[in-house]
Structure 1
Amino acid sequence: MDAKVNIADFIYNTNEGKKEILNTLFLLNPTGQECKVVIEQINLFFDHLIYSTIYSYYK
């Protein structure tokens, strides 16, 4: 099944979603160490999501 997918739009929208999650995190006012750990996990999640999606699309 072929789907018309714009990878650039997907990456842009994913990054916008990541920004929204980070903005919500900052509203919770975490400590510096808590913030660092959570941001690392958020970045890993979105990096993996983008990589997996692009890899699957071009596979």
Structure 2
Amino acid sequence: MNTFYGEAGNSKSLFFLRELARGITSAGQYNIDLVVKFVSGKGFGIKYGDTDSLYL
């Protein structure tokens, strides 16, 4: 997914489509939020979060 984001967000790429690049990042943020809610509900604390990962 990261590679396709790079292609979709690169104005010199044949696959350039800014809306698709935004959609990829939005989907990633949405999924991270779901995981945060899930692990918090299980009683785990989150030590650190990044764009594509969480450390418990």
Question: Which structure shows the bigger proportion of residues in helix conformation?
Answer: 1
Taking structure 2 as the reference length, the TM-score comes to: 0.50
Taking structure 1 as the reference length, the TM-score comes to: 0.48
Question: Which structure shows the bigger proportion of residues in strand conformation?
Answer: 2
